[in-house]
Chain A
Amino acid sequence: MRTPIAYFLLLAGVLFALGIVGVLVNRNALRIFMSVELQLNAVNLTLVAFARLRNDLGGQVLAFFSMVVAAAEVVVGLAIIVSIYRRRRSVDVDEVRELRW
């Protein structure tokens, strides 16, 4: 007996929630970014699980595209973090509050 698909989905949900908590709780920009990657992975897992459930390879293809785009996004995001660091000598997101009241 194979594992019910729901368990994969549940795992993905838990990982997603952990990702969100990581985004909210961390102050280091890089850690926030890593949490976002965790969330993306959870979503990919969901896609592949549904692909298996619905007998449709489109889910796997979409997960593939998601990974590619995530890679591109990580490249650009890290470049931004680097240039911010160069200006401010810090990657603490709490310090970026010019739009304060």
Chain B
Amino acid sequence: MPLDNVVFWVFAPIAVAAAVAMLLTRHVIYAALFLVANFACIAVMYLLLDAAFLFAVQIIVYAGAIMVLFLFVIMLLGVDRIDVRSERLFLQRPLAIVLGIGFVVEVTAAIRAGVGLSTHAPEGFDQLQQAGNTQAVAAVLFRDYFFPFEATSILLIVAAIAAMVLAQRKVRAVTQAEIDAEVAAGQPSDVRTAS
């Protein structure tokens, strides 16, 4: 059996299982970790699709940066508590599941109609990547998509500034008595005296 098939049929179920586990677990930290596992499997999928560059980027950016950020925030907000299981909204869960299944059915039909369930990838891809996938991607990125590239860099700067502004703590002068009162009440004090 071809290696591709084996790899696919090993990692695809793992990816799905990780996603399902992410939904079902009651601890947020576990959910984040399951998501990391899912991302890793996706990265392998990229590899199978001759996208070596993206494989690396996926691991570095998604698993390595984004999820770490998530974990920071989870632990910052102290939300490592266990989530409540009851659902207050009427029919939310059953409908969500039904609609999800319906969605999958529709997508399957669309794929069958559009692509065909047994279409294989054409052979020509290797030619494009004579020098390697990264070089090929670079060639396309810095030539045809140069402008979006620059725009994206601006976007990143804006996002960083926005995050700093949004997460800023407000500073005001408080008396020691207020601080003592808050501490006594058990609330974490998020103010500090002005110096």
Residues of A at under 8 Å CB distance from B? 1-11, 13-22, 24-28, 30-31, 33-35, 37-38, 41, 44-45, 48-49, 51-53, 55, 57-58, 60-61, 63-65, 67-76, 78-83, 85-86, 91, 94
Contacts and interface: CB of A to CB of B under 8 A. Distances in A.
Nearest to B108: A10
B77 A6 contact: no
A45 B45 contact: yes
Contacts of A16: 103, 107
A52 B45 CA distance: 12
A49 B51 CA distance: 9
A74 B35 contact: no
Nearest to A20: B100
The 7 A-B residue pairs with the shortest CB-CB distance, nearest first, are A72-B159, A13-B107, A79-B166, A24-B96, A79-B163, A17-B100, A79-B167
11 contacts: A6-B116, A7-B12, A11-B12, A17-B107, A34-B35, A37-B35, A38-B19, A60-B53, A67-B61, A68-B156, A69-B152
